[in-house]
Chain A
Amino acid sequence: DAKTTQPPSMDCAEGRAANLPCNHSTISGNEYVYWYRQIHSQGPQYIIHGLKNNETNEMASLIITEDRKSSTLILPHATLRDTAVYYCIVRTNAGKSTFGDGTTLTVKP
């Protein structure tokens, strides 16, 4: 599976959009981009995934560049409860996946 690169930390004001970038320049054609988050010491929680089209669900939006070498997770109206570590991973259908160190997002009042 391809490796991903994320900034180690980001801040966001409460109520504003949080835009979390991820670089996956070695992604191959059959690999999906997944986003998870981990709050405190809980198990990671699935947020969203995509292949090449932009995706939106009740939690977030995922924007994938046309060349698929990078993506951005958007939390449209961040709340204090969105403070967490966000992981971007790429993987094929099932099997191994590699989690990097993620981005620690701190939402501030």
Chain B
Amino acid sequence: DAGITQSPRHKVTETGTPVTLRCHQTENHRYMYWYRQDPGHGLRLIHYSYGVKDTDKGEVSDGYSVSRSKTEDFLLTLESATSSQTSVYFCAISRGDSGSTDTQYFGPGTRLTVL
């Protein structure tokens, strides 16, 4: 498995509280991604990063912010969690080398429940 860890793996929180999920990689890959997956659905991209301090929005970015101050860490923050953000969150990484294909490798996921 690619060297990707996510923390916490499980979290239960209350509506209105801030939550930060962490993705850590040991592969020195340039690109990092945050996806969410809801029951019966595929993965939807929230935000991604193409380098330190370089991020861009995905298809479901509202209510989420991200930060990447180091190559190895990509943080996803829910400023004020809502019940609609109850989901499983997956981090992914990819090498992002120019001119090459770009396989993504996924972390084990974080199950977030917002009550």
Contact = CB atoms under 8 A, between A and B. Distances in A.
Contact of B98 (A36, A87, A91, A93): A93
B41 A43 contact: no
B90 A43 contact: yes
Interface string A89-109: 001111111111110000000
Contacts of B106: 43-45
B104 interface: yes
Contacts of A42: 108-109
Contact of A43 (B40, B95, B108): B108
B90 A44 contact: yes
B96 A98 contact: no
B86 to A, nearest CB: 14
Nearest to B106: A43
Contact of B109 (A41, A95, A96, A102): A41
Given A87-B42, A102-B42, A34 B103 contact: yes
Contact of A94 (B4, B43, B45, B96): B96
Contacts of A101: 40-42
| Range class of the B interface residue count | 35 or more
Nearest to B90: A43
A95 B42 contact: no
Contacts of B58: 96
Contacts of A49: 101, 103
Interface of A: 32, 34, 36, 41-46, 49, 51, 85, 87, 91-102
Given A45-B106, A87-B42, A96-B58, 14 more contacts: A36-B104, A41-B88, A43-B92, A44-B43, A44-B106, A49-B101, A85-B42, A94-B31, A94-B96, A95-B31, A95-B48, A95-B102, A99-B35, A102-B42
